[in-house]
Structure 1
Amino acid sequence: MTMTGEKQGGEGRAGPMWWGRPREAALDVGLGVVSAAECGFEGVAFAREAGLPTAVGVVFGVLVGSTLVLRRRWPVAVVLLSLAVSPTAMGFLLGVVALYTLAASEVPRRITVLLSVLSLAATFAVTYVRTEGDVEASGTYLLVLSGFIAIGLTAPPVLLGLYIGARRRLMESLQERADSLERELGLLADRAEERAEWARQEERTRIAREMHDVVAHRVSLMVVHAAAVQAVARKDPDKAAKNAALVGDMGRQALTELREMLGVLRAVEKPVQPVQPVRPVRAPAAAAVSVALAAAPAPAPVEEGPALAELEVLVGQSRAAGMVVELVVQGEAGGYAAEVEQTAYRVVQEALTNCHKHAPGARVTVRLAHRGDEVAMQVENGPCDSEAKDAGLPSGGNGLVGMRERVLGLGGVFVSGPTDAGGFRVSAVLPGRSG
């Protein structure tokens, strides 16, 4: 049996051989030396009683006592050896320390109880036999005296060992639970950081979509009106002046919307204090979660954006730019969420912008249908007028992607593609309340 109070194996071992720490090795060696000296001294009397040379008794005692060094490695063997030499009346320290080590070790309790009872019986028998020849007293007195001595030499080390072993196991269990908790907190910190990064990425994407919608639509109309001003500047100065005024209005509206978005960014943005590195021990693991959660950007407030009621103005701006646009509204508007109305507006806005870019001169139909708990919109343009002059507007290829992301983000449905008549259609359906 090689189970001891310390866990066996090389994991976490810092001491020599089977000892966990150097001080444990020093303690056992010191106890072994003291036990060897005691047993060597007691070996003199044993040699005389047995009729052996004194040197043999001393050497035997030293060998027996020095086995205490092995108490952590083989506690059962050391206890059995102390039981074997108990008739020789040597090994007091050996027996007491061996019983303590056995009780504190990981040896099964039934073996500990059995060896403790055997040690109690052996101590009682040896004490009774030796006391009977030295003390003249009644048998009852000798039995009580022997029992008291046997219990005094056996019970305290066993009980102390059981207490120390239970305390050690409790501390190991708490240590394991603390390590497990630290690992879980580390995972939570990693997930919190991932959520913070995801939130930042989502916010950057949202801002990019808003910037694209504002800049692409307003600037596209400005380019169209600028081209119209250039075309009619000499022929119709009044119309040129009107178009120039429209260009100015478009520019001012674009600047106003950009300032509103930048104002939201400044309001949300907060200075981040540098976090000092800390040692990865128990408490900092929980602190890491708090730091990661605190670093996550707060959800940006939904700014006052465009609404469905402004679609008529939006369509009017495209008409003023020379586009033939028809707006068809079906049903009565319900109480939609602000982000739903804003998304619906942006879808129509981006679709009209694409018509200005890719279908100059085409007839466009904008349909808006209120269906109780949802709202549907469709923007369809006919074939492009081959004689219409291309405004030369650049395209980043993100218009349809942005519209799809907006609609799907609210749990809606988005479909786009060419029509059989040679035009293009964009359709979307949004729930009345965002998820």
Structure 2
Amino acid sequence: MTTTGEVHIGARGGPWWWGRWRSAVLDISLAAVSALECALEGIQFSRDAGLPVPVGTVFGLIAGAALVLRRRWPIAVVLVSIAVTPAQMGFLMGVVGLYTLAASELPRRIIGALAGMSFVGMFIVTYVRAYQGLVRGDLAIAGGFIPFLSVTTALGMTAPPVLLGLYVGARRRLMESLRERADSLERELMLLAERAEERAEWARSEERTRIAREMHDVVAHRVSLMVVHAAALQAVARKDPEKAVKNAALVGDMGRQALTELREMLGVLRSGEGSVGRSAQSAAPLAAVGAAAVVSVSAVADDAAEGPCLAELEELVGQSAAAGMVVRLSVEGEVRVYAREVEQTAYRVVQEALTNVHKHAGGAKTHVRLAHRSAEIAMQVENEPPPEPGSAKAVGLPSGGNGLLGMRERVGALGGVFVSGPTDAGGFRVSAVIPAERV
């Protein structure tokens, strides 16, 4: 910033130290008027001092032209005005110089010292001139009135420009502070908008992943059982009509259950879209980006929490047994109710593990273990090697390879531990431990 408090703009519009042409024109005009004033006053000064008139005129022109430097060196301008005060010239330069000095960023003690010097100089000159005029008879006033006249004149020449300069300088600094705050606020708003967009993108990505996981859990198990039952139905259709009818009924039940769960999932998605629309309409433009996605995720997550629970685990195992799997369920510890999300995750882990057995180890004996502990719940699904290798391929069960990944994500989101891998006997084991309270 310059000494007058004006900001240096990057691309200057004016010459030399001026930031704008308008400022340069104003200072040059003031300097011209001041030089003309000092030149005219220099005529009387040269006569009083016994100097040639051109000398006084040139001296006045040079002294008055110093006002052009008021923005660059305000102290020098004020000192010049004080120096020429005894010659009774430079009144405009003194007033404008004091104003510029008071409006600058200089320390207050320097401004006060120079203003005091100007006041004292003006007081002495006025007092001496008034006393000389009284002695010569040019002034018809009382001698006691001279100090009052001197103080009034000195105050009138120094106080108004200094006070006005202080006010303008304070106002300029306030405006600059407000401008900086506005710029800072604009930068913060831009940063918040970027972060809101990032959060919205992250929320959309998380929601897509969660929906894909839910759809996989809903469809894969039911459809896998339907395929197994359909294969059994095809095998016994002619040999055992009663068993074929039973298998057909099971396929129908599985299909209806799959459709019911799909309808529930689609209903959740539609309600989530409605929440997004309402949020986007009522929220501010900046907050709508992030808020809409967050509302959508929370709404879908709350509705999705009304999913299966551990009380339905026995029915899940029974469905796999009805499909021909030799499966045994064992429960350890005191049965109790957990948080909805914990029970749903435990159910989905067992469901996906049984689905994988149907896909990759059809006919293999499977053990499902559930342990209720003091601060956690543990589950394990382990199957023996299939009696006939390739049995899963025979019924045409495809695999996308996302089941284990989805289980690990579910358990990890609750602060649990998930482990899966082949056993030494040639089978496969899926184990998970979930804290009783959500982390």
Q: Among the aligned pairs, what percent are the same residue?
A: 68
Distance 1:109 1:388, change over 3 A: closer
Task: Tell me the distance in 2 between the aligned counterparts of 1:153 and 1:258.
Answer: 89
CA deviation profile, 1:45-91 (whole Å, cap 9, x unmatched): 12222333333322322222222121111101111111121121111
Q: Equivalent of 2:396, from 380, 392, 407?
A: 392
Maintained 8 Å contact 1:334/1:372:
no
Deviations 1:177-226 (A, max 9, x none): 33223322332232222222222222211111110011111111111111
TM-score normalised according to structure 1 size: 0.91
For the residue of structure 2 that corresponds to 1:269, the secondary structure is helix
Q: TM-score, normalised to structure 2's length?
A: 0.90
Deviation readout 1:23-56 (Å, 9 max, x if unpaired): 3223222212221221122122122223333333
Q: Match of 2:322, as an amino acid?
A: A
Aligned alpha-carbon RMSD (Å): 2.4
Cα pair 1:311 1:345 within 8 Å, conserved? yes
Residue type of the alignment partner of 2:124: A
Q: Give unmatched runs, 5+ long, in structure 2.
A: 136-140
Q: Measured at CA, do residues 212 and 204 of structure 1 come closer, stay the same or move farther in structure 2, by a change above 3 Å?
A: same
Task: Return the alpha-carbon distance in structure 2 between the equivalents of residues 287 and 146 of structure 1.
Answer: 65
1:90 match: secondary structure: coil
The count of aligned residue pairs is 425
- Tell me the SS of whatever aligns to 2:367: strand
1:222–1:247 CA contact under 8 A, matched in 2: yes
Which residue of 2 is the match for residue 283 of structure 1? none
SS in 2 for 1:296: helix
Shift of 1:266: 0.7
Distance 1:264 1:275 in 2: 18
Q: Which runs of 5+ in 1 are unaligned?
A: 277-285
Do the aligned partners of 1:6 and 1:20 also contact (CA within 8 Å) in 2?
Answer: no
1:382 matched residue in structure 2: 384
Q: 1:325 aligns with which of 324, 327, 348?
A: 327
Q: Deviations over 1:369-421 (max 9, x none)?
A: 11243221110001121366333311111110000101111111111111121
Deviation of 1:265 (Å): 0.5
How many angstroms does 1:10 deviate by? Answer: 4.5
Give me the whole-angstrom Cα distance separating, in 1, the residues matched to 2:82 and 2:280: 63
The question of 1:406 aligning with 2:419 is answered: no
Q: 1 or 2, which has the higher helix percentage?
A: 2
Spell out the pairing of 1:13-92 with structure 2 (5 A cutoff). Answer: 13-92=12-91
Match of 1:169 in 2: 173
Aligned residue identity for 2:65: S
What is the DSSP-based 3-state SS (H/G/I as helix, E as strand, rest coil) of the residue aligned with 2:434? strand
Residue of structure 2 equivalent to 1:205: 209
Structure 1 residue 335 and structure 2 residue 334: aligned?
A: no
- Cα deviation for residue 272 of structure 1 reads 4.7
Q: Distance in 1 between matches of 2:280 and 2:372?
A: 51
Aligned residue number for residue 153 of structure 2:
149
- 1:229-253 Cα distance to aligned partner (Å, 9 max, x none): 1222222222122212211211111
Structure 1 segment 19-418 matched on structure 2, within 5 A: 19-136=18-135, 140-270=144-274, 272=277, 288-298=285-295, 299=298, 300=300, 301-303=302-304, 304-386=306-388, 389-390=391-392, 391-418=395-422
For 2:138, the equivalent position in structure 1 comes to none
Q: After alignment, is 131-140 or 151-160 more displaced?
A: 131-140
Whole-Å separation in 1 of the counterparts to 2:291 and 2:406: 30
After superposition, the Cα gap between the structure-2 partners of 1:5 and 1:291, relative to the gap in structure 1 and judged at 3 Å, is farther
SS in 2 for 1:377: strand
* Paired AA for residue 192 in structure 2: L
Secondary structure, in 3 states, of the residue corresponding to 1:186?
helix
